[in-house]
Amino acid sequence: MTAAAMLRVEELSRAFGAVYAVRDVSLSVAEGETRAVIGPNGAGKSTLFNLVSGHLTPGHGTVHYAAGDRLRRIDRLSAHARARQGIAIVFQSARLFHGMTALENVMVGAHARTRHGFLSAALRLPRHHREEAAITADALAALDRVGLRDWAHRSADALPLGQQRALQVARALCARPRLLLLDEPASGLRAGEREALARLIEGLRAEGLTMMLIEHDVAFVARLADRVTVLHLGRQIAEGTPEQIRGDDAVLAAYLGQ
Ligand code: ADP
Ligand code: MG
């Protein structure tokens, strides 16, 4: 019953100066899996995501991703090339474009997978009109998927924080990802907003989307993740089901013992 791997990271390392942010991390994420990545501040979680998305290059190690019928090495590809292969990231503390509607914010994401990109579309070059109509339809569908269809033509600035996070997810979904990386999407949200976000992530999981999710709250993670990877000081100190992780001494020590 082992599902095919969507992502395989092997002995991945990245240092900043003398400090390893990520050190010798190896993991494999199966197609359709939701993988949580947890660990204290500075553990290397965001760096790991950026190494997968291509916003950082590794010092050592490899990243393979299921493209077409097999795993292909992607760690030398640009972030843009990886986005076009279906890897989408919602950055920690991602920002919306102020003064734009919710729909426009999502369309910025959709242009990541088009040939000409956002700039030429923004300039409204004639040959892009048909492409533009298709992107608008995709963006509306993405808004619908996160429950924000009614907000399409309203200013994104007016959205409460929880719905701003949902909008960031819609923006990422509009690029039609096969692997979605969510870096602390629940941070700063109130209980009701966290619940709404959890339900949104559960819905994506039920649709079979492969996700990686960074989150501090182990209870939140236990509900959403199939497996959990625990990082501490750049190293992977544990991996397992949420139940296994909650009983792991090294994990308890990393969270409580320092
Ligand atoms: P986390 O997301 O788990 O909180 P990060 O991946 O952001 O951790 O950071 C891991 C370590 O790498 C920290 O010590 C952090 O200070 C360092 N770091 C991350 N990004 C940079 C950077 N661009 N320049 C220098 N140091 C960095
Ligand atoms: Mg981080």
Q: Which of 47, 57, 233 to mutate to test the pocket of ligand 1 (most atoms within 8 A of CB)?
A: 47
ipTM: 0.98
Whether ligand 1 lies within 6 angstroms of the CB of 13 is answered as no
Positions of the chain with pLDDT lower than 50, given as ranges: 1
Q: How many domains, in total, are found in the chain?
A: 1
CA distances from 187 to 4, 5, 25, 183 (A): 31, 29, 25, 9
Q: Whose CA is nearest to atom 22 of ligand 1?
A: 16
Give the pLDDT confidence score for residue 17 in this predicted structure.
Answer: 96
Q: Which of 23-29's residues contact partners 24+ apart within 8 Å by CB, and which partners? A: 23/233, 23/234, 23/235, 24/61, 24/235, 24/236, 25/61, 25/231, 25/234, 25/235, 25/236, 26/61, 26/236, 27/229, 27/236, 27/239, 29/5, 29/179, 29/210, 29/212
Q: Is 61 left (phi over 0), alpha (psi -120 to 50) or beta?
A: left
Pick the atom of ligand 1 nearest to 56's CA.
Answer: 23
Q: What is the pTM of this model?
A: 0.92
Ligand 1 centre and the CA of 22: distance in Å? 9
pLDDT single digits (tens) 30-49: 999 999 999 999 999 999 99
Give the domain CATH number at 187: 3.40.50.300
pLDDT single digits (tens) 163-202: 999 999 999 999 899 999 999 999 999 999 999 999 999 9
Sign (positive or negative) of CA dihedral 132, 138, 139, 140: positive
Pick the atom of ligand 1 nearest to 231's CA.
Answer: 3
Give the pLDDT confidence score for residue 229 in this predicted structure.
Answer: 97
Give the pLDDT confidence score for residue 175 in this predicted structure.
Answer: 85
If you compute the radius of gyration of the chain from its CA atoms, what whole number of angstroms results? 18
State whether residue 180 is helix, strand or coil.
strand
Give the pLDDT confidence score for residue 129 in this predicted structure.
Answer: 72
- The whole domain housing 167 covers 5-256
Q: Structure tokens of 131? A: 């492409």
User: Contact, 228 vs 245, CB < 8 A?
Assistant: yes
Give the pLDDT confidence score for residue 1 in this predicted structure.
Answer: 46
